[in-house]
Structure 1
Amino acid sequence: MQWADFLANEAATNSLSPEQTAAFVECLKTENSVKSQTEVATELKIGLLAFKKRMTEVYDKFAQSYSELATSKGRGKLEKLRACLTAKYNGRQDAQLTIKEIHQNIPPAVPFEKFVGREAELEKLHQQLQTSRQVAIVAVAGMGGVGKTELATQYAKQHLQNYQGGVCWLSAQGINVGIQILRFAELKFKLIAPDDWELADSLRYCWQNWQQGEALLVFDDVTDYKKQVQPYLPPESPRFKVLLTTRLGFDRTLPQLPLGVLKPLAAMKLLKSLVDREQLKGEAWVAREICKFLGYLPLALELVGRYLDTMPDLSLEKLLKRLEKKRLEHEAVAKANSLMRYEYGVAEAFALSWEQLDENAQGLGCWLSLFALADIPFAVERIEDDEKQELKEKAIADLRKLHLLQRQSKGIYRLHPLIRQFFQMKLDESSEADEIKTIFVAQAVEVARRIPQQPSREDILNFTPYIPHLAEVATHLSQYLSDEDLIWPFTGLGCFYEGQGLYQQAEPWLQQCEKVTRNRFGSEHPDVAASLNNLALLYRSTGRYSEAESLFQEALSLYKRLLGEEHPRVASSLNNLALLYRSTGRYSEAEPLYQEALSLYKRLLGEEHPRVASSLNNLALLYRSTGRYSEAEPLY
């Protein structure tokens, strides 16, 4: 075993963190034996104090095995540790193969106690690999940054004793996989095929002479199964186990272990393992909000955790605000820490999948990012053109294959929060972004227009899936609404909630409607009057009569100035104010308004019109309420 391999094994055995491992290995390298701590720290690109802190942690962990380290001081600790490890290394050279000496080239892993929330997946993965009678091929599949490689690494480390035939780690994105297998066999088993043999013959020789015992082959980051895996599989034998990590979703012929994001509690535990400070306790609720904002994605959590660890005075609340503003472009998630094994930031990780999509799938991803962060109703069968329907079906399949889109049920999909942000970034980079957003909000308006003022139970059921997306349009995309469509998302949301008696949910949308219309049109506009009228109707329903009265009067005054005295909206406004007066027992004030509204409706709409009938009915109600039955009867 080479000295470098020995050091890596010792680091793993003593549960060193990636940062501690980097400092430990750099210090103990043969070529660095005469270098000062400052020089080694410089090579690691960290400060001297940070370097000393890490090495102190290293000595504390090794002191559990070498008690003499506890009594050593200063530079003597390093020399004592080097002497202990050198003696152990030299004493091993002629030893028999032990569990710790199983041949492997597993990449460094995070300490087991910091690997959280994946216990069930590790157990299931082991069961899947062990139950196969032939070559077991199991794919750990999931979106970028979800921790597929780390899961495979932890599995290989924790179950190393199960694979006396060795663990061969292969990078599907590295040099030819077949060459990697030959190099492993040569270095670990001293198997050297003749130079003039073809690659296939050399591989066959390696498989025939492979170390005895079960062996595990890990193909990491597979993007093309036929080219990167299939030609290099070992012969059918139950002792060979094959594990893949991939962003791809294979069909059911290949066993898969779908890997999702962490559970909220596990996400918090991961963040706490990376940020060693009391601040997490003081801002626990903000920490939970950060985890939620990051969609519980392990890569994002690790990036943010490491970033926070370098910013001890940064409050979590301030970081959350910055993340919400800059999103994937914020430095906390944009770039990988130099000590991390994963080399990409979140956006870079997603970009690897984005580049595998065709223009059709990319376009659909951008379109879906305009929906709210909720279940998305997207039924392709509603598309009448067969060719367009087929294109959408293929785009959905491509997005799902790369785990960029989740299917919840038939016609219902969902985007991960950070993938949604990534797609939005890509859309904003497009020259067609404004046009796409304009089309999107126009389609949302068509839904809003169909929401009745008094929705039935069936209406509520049918429109519920669209409500969060109407809210998204009203909140974030109102600038893309045309002038004639501006009030509709707000009005639709108000009707949906008010029609169910959910007045507290309805009020903010109706208030926002008035604000948005005033900002765009100024105070003198019919839509401003309409928004005032709708808000007044809500206040009347909740008994806030004085607030409703002033809004009804302002709306009526606006309608008269803008549309003239002879207009149906003026009649409706008169009728609404009269209803308010009747509700509060102000019958003498209500009567002339009802009469004026009735007269206007007859002149403008003719005698044969439903609004005339409603107006007759309202006046009759007033007469009945005041005991004027003979006047009410003919109106009824």
Structure 2
Amino acid sequence: MTGTALHVLGPLEFLRDGHWLPPARGHQVRLLAALACSPGRAVPVEALTGVLWGGRAPRDPATALQPEISRLRQALAPAGIPIRYTTGAYTLVVEPDRVDLCRFEDLAARGGEALRSGDHARAADLLDRALGLWRGPAFADLTGEPFDSARRRLHEQRLTTRLALAEAHLATGRHGETVASLTELAEEHTLHEGLAGQLMLALYRSGRTGDAMGVYHRVRHRLAEELGQSPGPALVRLYERMLAQDHALDWAAGPRPRVWNLPPANPKFCGRAAVLATLTALLDPAGAVVLHGLPGIGKSQLALRYAHDQDLRTVWWCPAETPDLLDASLSSLADELGVSVTGDLDRTRIAVRRALADRTGWLLVLDNAADLGHLRSWLPDTRTGRVLITSRNADWEGYAKPLAVPVFADDESQRFLLAHVGGDPASAAVLAGRLGNLPLALEQAAAFCRRTGDSLGTYLDLLDQRGRDMLARGRTGDYDGTVATTLRLAFARVAHDDPYAAGLLRACAFLAADDIPTAVLRTAVAGLDDPIGLGEAIGALMRYSLVDRRGDAVSLHRLVQELVRAETPAGQRRDLLTRLVAALDTAPATPGDRHSPHLAVLLGHLDAEALWPRRTAGLVCRTARHLDERGVYAAAGRLTNLALRVLDRAGPDDTAGRADLLSELGRTLDRAGCDLHSARHLLREALSILDRAPGDTTLAVGRTLSRLAHALHCADLTWEAYEAHERALVLLRAAPDRVELGHALAGFGTTLWWSRDLARAEAAFTESIVILTAERGPDSSDVAIARGGLGTVLQDRGDLAAARTQLELSVAALRAAHPEDGDAHPDVAQNLDKLGYLLRLTGDVAAARDCHGRAVHALERLFGADDPRVAMALTNLGLDELDAGDVERAVTTQARAAALFVEVYGPRHSSSLIARGRHGTALLAAGRAAEAVEVLRAVTEDHRNSGGKRPDPELGRALADLARAERRAGREADAAAHEHEAAAELAGVLPESYAAKSD
């Protein structure tokens, strides 16, 4: 007989004579249901008698139960469902696929696994079949225990399955039909935030954004009224993303592209079955595990094997031994996921965590991590995926479950050696014991034999001849001496075969382990400037498995690096470090920040040696400048701080170098916008050093003064900025570096524009363009940025046609300079913002709104939604919305912009005052006069108390709007006074063409 034989997901039924019929008597119904709660499992007699008679059980319950069991057996016999008795218990013997409860749980579990692995179509089929088994409430018409508990548990599983089915439907584009089922569920579960989020997304993707917003507000009100709580961060974030029309919420047909960067699988991997089984169990279906143990014990190879065994669409391998390598690798993951926030590493971290939270069935491998430390800011929630960490450290503060990786068992070691070298099993057993069964030592031994043709016995003889002496002084840090012995034997052969290869290995040992450019090594190692000789040296190292080569870069194991460093004599080490500084200093530029991880590692070695080669400061400054121009401010700051520490420790008489580093660090903090006070302090300290420094410091002082002026300008210290600019320009006009002069003039032009000295601002920008065109070419990004500044000045002078020409040239040139970024480059986005403001003034509100909308979107991607650069584009967008008649949206936009400025700069910063005033204007346009009065009164009061000279039109406009709001609110006397005051403020200044600061 086939088909389901027993139904409990609804009224209780069983099959007899081909028809579903209920048991004939009430006791049989309750007895069958009690056994069906646990099909295939023994149910004690006491539990069954309690179900039938409760507290009024017969004197001999077991005897009284027997005839009831007998009658039920007869009723179930035609369906082929026996009841078996074991001591003190009865079991309903039924195959799981013949019970709808078991089939439901199996289908739901398989559907959930398919959903986590990204197979949404299969998941939808399985989950739909699971839900189709329900015919009503579980154990319908049955009350009391165990039915009430079972019913609650099953109904919770049913809800979870319905939500999973909705997720699968949303992933396959079935938004419309999902809305109906989710709406019904939402009416039953009014406080379920996960359900509300799914319904919002289904409505949003169905083009019903307003209804989606309504769901959010209903849930928010109910949570507040019934629980006194606010929605959780996930639901709030979804609401904000819908408000921002985040394209990542849109549905795209087809599966997500595979995100996968695993290194090749190791064909020599063997053994480890028990550890792999334990690891698989710990990470199934999600979670975090740290593989810990001695260096060389095989943690990374075990993680790699596990990763290759997983059938997942998102698998990412990340070197994690230093912050820079971690940041670089996970930034690449952000690029692959499509969530990279160019120029803002902190926002990229948040974006990666959110992107992984939105996916299911992913694996992130963090290789060779020390502790949580810097890693903490990247780590995702592991409820939807898996994190596998390899580390020497077992303590991960509860984030990851520890799993100790043991050495090979004796038989595993012997099988490994015999499989890869062959020979005598007895020699393999002795050698494995001698090497402590450490996987890296075994691999090195096998590699040596393969490369040299030596047998295991010969290798063992060599080890015996030199082993005692080598082991006695061969331990370095946490390394086992057998590893050192194996590697030293290889080093001896390399030095004998190719001395240049030995020098190359030493140079690699003092840089980051991965992606070492061969161009750097050619300069650093004497005798390897010939590409043929370099190739032969790398080949020699590859023959002993000491390095790997990929294209124009080599990599080597960190254990090899540390042992080589320990074996390098002090004098040779100091000379090599100096040569490496020179090599990085003269190496050709590379895309991205390829050299910065090597420079960071090299600075650590210079620190240990208290060594400071003269050209180090210039190298660090150029690298840091390159990093912060790409927006990688954190890495630039770490690099410069480390260089300062090395300089302090070494203590040479290099005042100019210290001043340069302080100036660079101040510039980085200023551009990052994270600590303007510290930026000013560092730049002033640099100036103090340069004032006392011997020799010609004209260029350095001028450059640092120009940077200080920019930091002062951003901090709203306009007149101090003005004075610093003028001093800088005097010096830079006398210096040979015309590019620095061009940059300084552009910075001065911005300050002059901001302080309303438009004629001089135009002259400064024009001179900057002439100089930078001569030095960098007419289409360079430097010239384009200066053109953007000139455009805003011409706009405010009333020459809108000339301003438009300059701004359109600026945007076009910047896009051409950064073709891979589109709008998502800081300079492009900010000049789009300027162009949008101009277009609004010309009356082209639709084009202005498009420009500002694109600028907001790009700046949010680059810097995150809470950055003041986003706020400036937002407040300009709010002006477009007001002009277009979209008044309520303008109120919302201006309120958000004002809140962002106040949060970052405080209420009296000029940008905060502008946005707050515009918020008041929007409230007035929306007919909310009382609110407008309150906002505008606070703005005018803060204008007066701000302590510095503000742009003339802003206070006048705020006063004029306040007067209008007060008149509408019936406050005629106040309105008349403020109208008079506004007229006095606006006398002699430009009207509406004044542009918002977008520095």
Structure 1 and Structure 2 fold alike (TM over 0.5) = no
TM norm structure 2:
0.29
TM norm structure 1:
0.43
Larger Rg: 2
Higher relative contact order (CA 8 A, sep 6+): 1
